[in-house]
Structure 1
């Protein structure tokens, strides 16, 4: 777990990911959290079913690079969003970060704070040298999170902006 002044970032186990995917508050019950008004987008559902859950189930991999890290607001003891890496570092030491904030918790700085802590965590990992991210061209909030954390825009193509930051 990673803790900040306002947040707790908790990596989910395989069993917890299965509960997360049900969206029936069983995960919140297990973690002793208040119920969350969260929904799973089609994109996240696909990532869970075809990437995150199978990768976390693979015991040869370090699950911390594939699982969802749920973001818990200490003040209300509720899940406010999630952040994840899209797998272990590649041969060049690159990992991709992805994140999402539940609707009612947007524009409060939680994701900027969470991404900052994930960057600090990534810097401590021996094989990580660079973080990558991408945002839709119109997702100004997500772009702000990346800029506030020192990411640089590297290219734009087909309505997607690609970003990077060196950590070593």
Structure 2
């Protein structure tokens, strides 16, 4: 678990991910939080079941790079979004991040703060040398978060933009 003044970033265990996927507020109950509307898409639910859960339960993998980290607002006592790595560092020490803020909590700076904090955590990991992210070209809010945290635009393919933060 890592924190900022306003946030707690908490990596989810396999059992907690199962509760997250159920989206029945049992995860919030476990953490002593108020219920949050997450709206998990069918594609995300499928990815969680087919890729994330098996990787998190694989004892040969560092689950912190495969699980979702829930973002909790301390003042609101609610989950406000999620952040994750897309696997462990590659041979060049690069990891990829993904993130999403739940609709009612957008525009409040939570994700900019969470990305900044997870960057600090990643910099402290000896195998991590850089972080990659991809955003849709029309998702200004998402790439603004990356720009505010020092990411540089490195390219575009179709409707996607690529970003990198080198340490």
Q: TM-score, normalised by structure 2?
A: 0.98
- CA distance in structure 1 between the partners assigned to 2:63 and 2:15 by the alignment: 12
Q: Tell me, what secondary structure is at the counterpart of 1:61?
A: coil
- CA distance in structure 2 between the partners assigned to 1:160 and 1:141 by the alignment: 14
Match of 1:103 in 2: 103
Match of 1:37 in 2: 37
Instruction: For residues 108-156 of structure 1, give each alpha carbon's deviation from its aligned partner in whole angstroms, at most 9, with x where no partner exists.
Output: 1000000000000000101000100000010000010000000011111
In the alignment, structure 2 segments of 5+ residues that lack a partner are none
Instruction: For residues 37-59 of structure 1, give each alpha carbon's deviation from its aligned partner in whole angstroms, at most 9, with x where no partner exists.
Output: 11102342232122211110101
| Number of corresponding residues | 167
Q: How does 1:89-100 map to 2 (within 5 A)?
A: 89-100=89-100
- CA distance in structure 2 between the partners assigned to 1:141 and 1:45 by the alignment: 23
The more displaced of 49-58 and 16-25 is 49-58
- CA distance in structure 2 between the partners assigned to 1:46 and 1:132 by the alignment: 23
* RMSD of aligned residue pairs (Cα, Å): 0.8
Q: Tell me, what secondary structure is at the counterpart of 2:8?
A: strand
Q: Say yes or no: does 1:76 pair with 2:39.
A: no
Structure 1 outlier segments of 4+, above 4 Å: none
Q: Tell me, what secondary structure is at the counterpart of 1:27?
A: helix
- CA distance in structure 2 between the partners assigned to 1:30 and 1:69 by the alignment: 15
Instruction: For residues 5-57 of structure 1, give each alpha carbon's deviation from its aligned partner in whole angstroms, at most 9, with x where no partner exists.
Output: 11000000000000000000011111111101111023422321222111101
- CA distance in structure 1 between the partners assigned to 2:96 and 2:52 by the alignment: 13
Q: Tell me, what secondary structure is at the counterpart of 2:107?
A: coil
Q: Tell me, what secondary structure is at the counterpart of 1:10?
A: strand
- CA distance in structure 2 between the partners assigned to 1:46 and 1:158 by the alignment: 24
In the alignment, structure 1 segments of 5+ residues that lack a partner are none
